[in-house]
Chain A
Amino acid sequence: MLEIHKFMTDHNIVMSYRGDLTHDTVTSILSLIKKFLESTDITYQSKKKLYAIVVECTDNITKNNMLFVQNQVPTKYSSSIFCISEHPEYFNIQTGNYILNSQIAPLQQKLKNVNLLNEEELRVFYKEKLLNSKPEGGGLGIIDISIRSGCKLSYEFIQDSDEISFFILQTLLIK
């Protein structure tokens, strides 16, 4: 336990969760985040942005876990990780979750596209998606995260097996 405590201190981790991220667990995490934000000395807008980024990041995971249930993927792959670290100039919001290898190409393309756009272009892209997307399947989340972050998104896919990989998404929010 001391090791975990030391690791979290050394890495400025203010909140972390490992396990199955469901809508209910996310709601509990968000309630803790609200409390954390109340006591943090950052602007109102930064607080709202941090909250929104966490919602969209965790929404992506919970939706993916529902897909896993539909595809009868073993439950051990529903275990995800979520972590916020606070640094003097910025917050680092990281999530890690398993995805099907068949999901990598479209997701990677989406992330690449978003990282090529500046803020104004992202807003235009968001509006296009909003107008043309199907309900519940808009793919707006990644664009929303990128707009609110104002930084390029970092990501990595680590292959676990022929079918599954671990997807890591890192979002920075300048204070």
Chain B
Amino acid sequence: MDNLLIAATPTTPKVLLDSTSNIFEITGESRPENTSKFYTPIFDWFNKYESVLFFQKNHFKKSQKLILKLQFDYFNSTSAKFILDIFYLVEKMNKEGYEAEIHWYYDKQDIDMKESGEEFAKLVPYMSIKYFEF
């Protein structure tokens, strides 16, 4: 399966979804002109990825931990809904038996960003969320 790489712009984050390492990174600022248009390829990719995971697990008994790394400088309120949906996607895979973790990175001075991560975490109570300050 091809990886998904979207380069960062001043209004959209860098996205790297790597199906080989099972590490998914979203980094930067998120306030796209059309939020749905920006995030749809990410959801489409995850939907295909789930089929690949299912195949790997059933045919090769192979299962590797999935890690979602999120590091936002800023995200607007429209992006928040889409970020929450990404949390739900990872939670769904976790519930289906795939080991998964979410890593929330934030600037150590940015208390609001840390709290945003904690608020998202409350909405996926069974997920393992780790916090990293930088």
Contact = CB atoms under 8 A, between A and B. Distances in A.
Interface of A: 23, 27, 30-31, 44-45, 48-49, 51-52, 55-56, 59, 123, 127, 130-131, 133, 135-136, 138, 140-141, 143-144, 148
Contacts of A141: 76-78
A27 B11 contact: yes
A45 B36 CA distance: 29
A131 B36 CA distance: 16
A45 B33 contact: no
Secondary structure type dominating chain B contacts:
helix
Interface stretch (B45-53, B61-69, B95-103, B105-113): B105-113
Contacts of B119: 123, 127
Nearest to B73: A48
A141 B79 CA distance: 11
Contact of A144 (B77, B82, B113): B77
Contacts, number: 63
A55 B76 contact: yes
B130 interface: no
A160 to B, nearest CB: 28
> Which of A30, A130, A148 is the most central at the interface, judged by chain B CB atoms within 10 Å of its CB?
A130
A45 B111 contact: yes
B125 interface: no
Nearest to B122: A127
Contacts of B84: 130-131
Interface in B26-67: 31, 33, 35-36
A27 B10 contact: yes
